[in-house]
A = this chain, B = another copy of it.
C-alpha cells in the first residue's frame, strides 16, 4: 500500500541522514541506524496520501512526511533507554543505546527531533503560511499536550489501575497524536478548509484507537511467533488496557466500530479515498 510514497520516503530519509566527514559522524550514523530500521512508515505515507486526497501534490509534502518519521524514530530511541522501557532490542536489532551507547543514543534522539523541524521548514512550493501552520501542528502533536503527555500518562499508570477515560486519553495522545499530525498536516499543506481538516482529524483519532485496541487484543489472542514479541505482557504487569477494562468481546466490536467511524469521516473528501479505506480495514485484520 502506498508503494510510490514508500520509495520517495526512503530515498529522502537516506539523503537527509547521509553521512559526511565530520567530528560528529557517529551521531549521524546512530540517527540513520534507527531511522532505517525497517519501520512500516505508516505516518509519512498517511501524510502524503492526505496531501493528495485534499487536493495537493504529495511530493510537496515529502519533507514533512520525513520529519514526522524522524520524530517517530526519536520517540522509539528514547523509549528504549534504560530509564524508560529499557529495551535492548528494536525490530530484531540491538536498540540504539546498545549499539552506540546511552549518551549517543540520547543525543541521536534529540537530533532527530530537532532536525525534523529543519527538514519540515525546508518545504518548497507551498505557501509560507501553510508551512508555519503545519510545523506548529507537528510540534503540538509531538509535544507536552501530544505524544509526550501520553508517554507520561503511560509511565504513571504502569503499575496502577487506570480508569477507562485515562486509557482512552493515553491512546489518543501516545499513539493517536502523531497519526493526527499525519492526517492534518497533509490537509493543511494542501490548503484544505477546516471541515476537511476536522474530518481528517476524526479519521486519525478513530484509526488510532482501533490500532491501539487491536494491539491489546493481539497481546492476548496472538502467538508470540506471529507477534514477534512476548505475548501476555499486559496481563502480567496488571496494566490497565482497553481489553482488561471492557472485556475481549466488546473490545473486538469496538475495533470494528471505530474503524467504521474512521471510514465514514472520509465522506468529507471529494477525491478517491479507496486506499485510505483499505488501510483502515487492514488494521482490523492485522496479526502483528
User: Which residues of chain A have a CB within 8 Å of any CB of chain B?
Assistant: 22-24, 26-28, 31, 74, 78, 81-84, 101-104, 106-107, 109-111, 113-118, 121-122, 127-129, 131-132, 135-136, 138-140, 142-144, 148-149, 151-153, 155-156, 166, 169
For A109, list chain B residues within 8 Å (CB). Answer: 110
Give the chain B neighbours of A169 by CB distance below 8 A: 23
In the complex, A21 Cα to B154 Cα: how many Å? 17
Chain copies in the assembled complex: 2
Known: A110-B78, A113-B110, A151-B107. A144 touches B84 (CB 8 A): no
Q: Please, how many angstroms separate the alpha-carbon atoms of A235 and B15 in the complex? A: 41
Contact flag A121-B135 (CB < 8 Å), given A144-B24, A144-B111, A153-B23: yes
A23 touches B156 (CB 8 A): yes
**Known A-B contacts A24-B153, A26-B152, A27-B148; A83 and B103 likewise in contact (beta carbons under 8 Å):** yes
Q: Which residues of the other chain, B, contact A118 by a CB distance below 8 angstroms?
A: 136, 139-140, 143
Bound CA–CA A255/B232 (angstroms): 62
Which residues of B lie under 8 Å from residue A26 when comparing CB positions? 152
A149 to B166, CA, bound (A): 39
- Neighbouring B residues of A138 by C-beta, 8 Å: 117
User: Looking across the interface, which residue of chain B has its beta carbon closest to that of A118?
Assistant: B139
Q: Are B136 and A128 in contact (CB-based, < 8 A)? A: no
| Complex partner residue of A106 from B84, B115, B166, CB under 8 angstroms | B84
